[in-house]
Amino acid sequence: MVATPALDALETRFRQIAALESAAGILHWDAATMLPPGSAEARGEQLAALAEISHEKLTDPQLAEWFADAQTEQPDAPWRRANLREMQHRYAHATAMPQALVAALTKLRLRSEHQWRNARAASDYAGFLPIFREIISLTRELAAAKSAALSLSPYDALLDSYDPGLRNATIAPLFADLKSWLPEFVGTAIAHQQRQPILPLTATVPIAQQEALGRQMMQALGFDSRQGRIDVSAHPFCGGAPGDVRITTRYREDRFTDALYGVLHETGHALYEQGLPAEWRGLPIGEARGMSTHESQSLFIEMQLCRSPAFLAFLLPKLHAAFGLDGAAWTRENATRALTQVERGFIRVNADEVTYPLHVILRWELEQALLSGDLDAGDLPAAWNEKMQAYLGVTPPNMAEGCLQDIHWPEGMFGYFPTYTLGAMLAAQLMAAARTALPALDRQVEGGDFAPLVGWLRQQVHRHGSYYPTPELVVAATGQPLNPAIYRAHLEARYLG
């Protein structure tokens, strides 16, 4: 074996950092699910301390020497060279950020999130605005620091934090294409669906029964409950730590399908996390490739799989057994139409897959304007409502259903939203490839046998971690680069077929 002392030292350091970040991940989950309202400031101090220690370890001047020496080493395993690439990417982002800014942002994000929860419940944008201005100001500082260090535009520097290698020059033509045909397609799809009656899937279901069904579906799909759990939060998410994956949803007795499909969406994220290579755990190469890929996994499960007729043939008997749901509304044909119904709604997380990209494009445009200063935070509600009317033909009746609905900006997560639609495109491409590889897929799904499909995802996506850059992973998984024509063909087949 070739001696690699510098690479060995780097890998040891990054495993230490990963352990600290895992601890922070559990503290974040606790803050979102059960932290007492008066404890936010104390939790912010704890998370800031962990963030500072992690940042110190990642920006230690010794690492520069190790990276220089590692460039001359020739490790036997190709994965170690790929891991060196990923470590350098993390190091470049970390050294671009002043430590004081890291601590300040960490504290502010937690305070902002808790204020957002109260503001959203009260539909009180004016009350949230002061701390939101602080978030925008510090995020601008962060973007400027990374921009200067990485030789990227400020917005590209933020994009690169969530999806290494992603640039606005890639996003812009894809989103321009979507805007050129999708608003009209929404109307066409709605008109097409109006030719057949759609009975609403209305039922009042106690939350305890919804929770039981959600756990049953998670386990059926392959979630390992020995290394994860599900809880309730104001905004559904998947978090926790490697080997301890936490997902959440939110419940309403009169809309159980929202909670169920929230669980299914987050289970897609969780399956990815649980399928990452255990032998690379604690190293950057062992992490998910990026948020576009992560969102492809959640949307693959929620949209591509769990709204299909084959999955509903599996699910509907479970609903009858668990909730006593029966009748014309609960046939496979009607349930398929109801769960793929196109509607001009206000809420992104409840949106159908036809209108969903328009919700994302709206946010992508607004967050760039907020960061550049072209849009003042005080003018966000009006700008939001104007774009909602232009793209979706509706105007939110209040702030909670408008610009206060998402947790991302209150947490300073600018540059994240585009990954949802890129993930939707990749999810459609993955399903097309899976159908070619698994000709008996629908029969297997109808029988509740998800192992072949999840196993295919494990083989094509999960097991690679961050070994490949995203474009190479897409080709390795599907046989071709990201192709928006596949996404459009999927929408046309499902909604106009």
CB 389 within 8 A of CB 395: yes
d(CA 269, CA 402): 26
d(CA 267, CA 282): 22
- Shared domain for 204 and 313, answered yes or no, is yes
- Shared domain for 224 and 339, answered yes or no, is yes
Q: Which domain holds residue 94?
A: 5-161
Query: Tokens standing for 487?
Result: 């996404």
- Shared domain for 417 and 454, answered yes or no, is yes
- Shared domain for 143 and 190, answered yes or no, is no
* Number of domains forming the structure of the chain: 2
Find the helix or strand (DSSP H, E) in which 223 lies.
none
- Shared domain for 119 and 228, answered yes or no, is no
Find the helix or strand (DSSP H, E) in which 303 lies.
none
Task: Tell me the DSSP string of 350-384.
Answer: G--TTTHHHHHHHHHHHHHHHHHTSS-GGGHHHHH
Reference 3, options 60, 56, 72, 54; nearest CA is 72
- Shared domain for 249 and 136, answered yes or no, is no
- Shared domain for 148 and 288, answered yes or no, is no
Of 102, 136, 161, the last residue of a domain is 161
- Shared domain for 255 and 226, answered yes or no, is yes
pLDDT tens across the length of the chain (497 residues): 789 999 999 999 999 999 999 999 999 999 999 999 899 889 989 999 999 999 999 999 999 999 999 999 999 999 999 999 999 999 999 999 998 998 899 889 989 998 999 999 999 999 999 999 999 999 999 999 999 999 999 999 999 999 999 999 999 999 999 999 999 999 999 999 999 999 999 999 999 999 999 999 999 999 999 999 999 998 889 999 999 999 999 999 999 999 999 999 999 999 999 999 999 999 999 999 999 999 999 999 999 999 999 999 999 999 999 999 999 999 999 999 999 999 999 999 889 999 999 999 999 999 999 999 999 999 999 999 999 999 999 999 999 999 999 999 999 999 999 999 999 999 999 999 999 999 999 999 999 999 999 999 999 999 999 999 999 999 999 999 999 999 999 999 999 98
Task: Tell me the DSSP string of 465-485.
Answer: TTSS-HHHHHHHHHSSS--HH
- Shared domain for 477 and 434, answered yes or no, is yes
Of 161, 184, 204, the last residue of a domain is 161
- Shared domain for 355 and 414, answered yes or no, is yes
- Shared domain for 157 and 238, answered yes or no, is no
Q: What is the CATH number of the domain that holds 353?
A: 1.10.1370.30
Distances in whole angstroms, Cα of residue 418 to Cα of each of 168, 291, 343: 9, 9, 21
Residues with catalytic function? 266
- Shared domain for 215 and 142, answered yes or no, is no
Of 107, 141, 161, the last residue of a domain is 161
